[in-house]
């Protein structure tokens, strides 16, 4: 059976080499006589898996020693609550609203303190990143929050906001490992892994140690305290062992390709092919301000709903699946994460050219 090119925003493609390795190791992981799904999270074998996954992630991202790496559950959405619960000391935080995920995080934070929307691009359907060079940051803000890459709208921060000395917190669910990150620019980075890393069910938090508090209010659930998870080295309770194992395989695979500078080159190449086509097409056009375009999520439209629907249908039949745009934007969206081969984007563009010629 031929594999399709899956342009879904998430869950999304995984590297074929990793899937094959997981298949080979499914029944007997490295002579243990069992699958990773079956083994104790307290076993020596699994301890190696999680330690190595952490080490490889630290290598890839150059994570400084004064940051903890936590493998958690509950998805990125649970972090919308965990972040304010753990980091709001003064009870104030500033949010930059660049899309639905940022907005959801902001709405959630309001439950735990004073969350302030200090900038927003809602006025133009989140098709750009607002100027964040001189925002009205609160003097007693505990942190400034961004969604680094806006999965739904296809925008990304090319320049980080001026936080005026406050801690920066970033949701990097849809662009982590797509390019190098200077971790020290942030107090906390978190990401759900199902976009650009592994299977759904794992969320990783990378947090500066001095932000891990042991003076949290009694009301904060034990499981949601970063302290609990950091003290237990992500093994307070049963983690998603198989998900962590899969992420570990992806980390090793990315290292074997040359790490994140190499991934950035490949991702720039892929996105370049698609954006160049969109900029020159008479039928298709991108929906995002050029300087804010994402390398990962590329929304585009034609001028007709009918043509959009016809395109999505014919593309699906040709093996380019999940190109339908998010319901709030309409049109199409091609998510071209790390695991999408260059060839997948080249073939999609060939298909779009032919569709344009056939439907003039």
Ligand X SMILES: *Cc1c(COP(=O)(O)O)cnc(C)c1O
Which residues does the annotation mark as catalytic? 101, 171, 195
Show the site string, 73-92: x = touches ligand X by CB under 6 A, - = not: --xxx---------------
Tell me the two tokens of residue 159.
Answer: 């320049």
Q: In angstroms, what CA-CA distances link 47 with 36, 40, 245, 332?
A: 11, 9, 11, 43
Q: Which is nearer to ligand X, 145 or 300 (CB)?
A: 145
Give the CB-nearest residue to ligand X.
75
Q: Which is nearer to ligand X, 228 or 294 (CB)?
A: 294
Minimum CB separation of residue 171 from ligand X in Å reads 5
201 sits near ligand X (criterion: CB under 6 A): no
Tell me the site size for ligand X, rule CB under 6 A: 12
Contact between 158 and 290 under an 8 Å Cβ cutoff? The reply is no
**Among residues 256, 263, 257, 262, which one has the least CA distance to residue 337?**
263
Tokens 């062992």 map to which residue? 241
CB of residue 310 to ligand X, shortest distance in Å: 28
* Per CB under 6 A, 108 contacts ligand X: no
Nearer to ligand X, 39 or 76 (CB): 76
Applying CB under 6 A, among 171, 178, 181, 228 the residue interacting with ligand X is 171
Query: Which is closer to ligand X, CB of 84 or CB of 192?
Result: 192
Instruction: Verify binding: residue 10, ligand X, rule CB under 6 A.
Output: yes
Strands 203-208, 188-192: pairing is: antiparallel
Indicate whether 239 belongs to the interface with ligand X (CB under 6 A). Answer: no
Task: List the x/- string, 125-164, binding to ligand X by CB under 6 A.
Answer: ----------------------x---x-------------
**Minimum gap (Å) between residue 34 Cβ and ligand X:** 28
Phi, psi of 229 (to 5 degrees): -70, -35
Q: Confirm if 96 and 161 have CB atoms less than 8 A apart.
A: yes
**Does the footprint of ligand X cover residue 198 (CB under 6 A)?**
no
Question: Which single residue is written with the structure tokens 């929304």?
Answer: 299
Shortest distance (Å) from residue 78 CB to ligand X: 7
For residues 249 and 241, give the distance between their C-alpha atoms in angstroms, rounded to a whole number. Answer: 13
Q: Measure the CA–CA gap between 223 and 147, rounded to whole angstroms.
A: 23
Cα–Cα distances (Å) from 323 to 12, 196, 229, 313, in that order, read 12, 17, 37, 9
* Cβ–Cβ under 8 Å, residues 145 and 262: no
Tell me, residue by residue from 321 to 360, as one string, x for binding to ligand X by CB under 6 A and - for no binding: ----------------------------------------
Place of tokens 């949601």: 224
Which residues lie near ligand X (CB under 6 A)? 10, 75-77, 101, 147, 151, 171, 173-174, 192, 195
């Amino acid at each position: 059976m031929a594999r399709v090119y899956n342009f879904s925003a998430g869950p999304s493609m995984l590297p074929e080499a990793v899937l094959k390795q997981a298949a080979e190791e499914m029944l007997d992981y490295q002579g243990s006589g069992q699958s990773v799904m079956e083994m104790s999270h307290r076993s020596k074998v699994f301890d190696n898996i999680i330690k190595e996954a952490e080490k490889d992630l630290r290598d890839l991202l150059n994570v400084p020693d004064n940051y903890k790496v936590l493998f958690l559950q509950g998805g990125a959405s649970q972090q919308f609550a965990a972040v304010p619960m753990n980091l709001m000391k003064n009870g104030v935080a500033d949010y930059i609203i660049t899309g639905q995920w940022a907005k959801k995080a902001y709405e959630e934070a309001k439950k735990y303190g004073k969350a302030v929307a200090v900038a927003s691009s809602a006025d133009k359907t989140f098709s750009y990143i607002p100027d964040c060079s001189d925002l009205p940051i609160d003097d007693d803000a505990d942190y400034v929050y961004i969604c680094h890459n806006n999965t739904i709208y296809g925008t990304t921060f090319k320049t980080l906001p001026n936080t005026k000395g406050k801690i920066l917190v970033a949701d990097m669910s849809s662009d982590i490992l797509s390019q190098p990150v200077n971790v020290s620019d942030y107090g906390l980075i978190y990401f759900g892994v199902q976009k650009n890393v592994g299977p759904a069910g794992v969320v990783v938090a990378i947090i500066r140690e001095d932000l891990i508090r042991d003076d949290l209010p009694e009301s904060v659930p034990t499981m949601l305290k970063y302290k609990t998870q950091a003290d237990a080295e992500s093994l307070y309770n049963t983690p998603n062992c198989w998900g962590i194992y899969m992420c570990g395989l992806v980390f090793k695979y990315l290292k074997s390709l040359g790490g994140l500078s190499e991934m950035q080159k490949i991702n720039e190449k892929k996105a370049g092919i698609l954006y160049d086509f969109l900029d020159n097409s008479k039928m298709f056009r991108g929906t995002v301000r050029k300087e804010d375009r994402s390398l990962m999520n590329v929304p585009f439209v034609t001028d007709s709903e009918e043509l959009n629907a016809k395109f999505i249908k014919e593309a699906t039949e040709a093996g380019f699946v999940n190109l339908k745009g998010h319901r709030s934007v309409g049109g199409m969206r091609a998510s071209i994460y790390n695991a999408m081969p260059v060839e997948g984007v080249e073939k999609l563009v060939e298909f779009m050219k032919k569709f344009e010629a056939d439907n003039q």
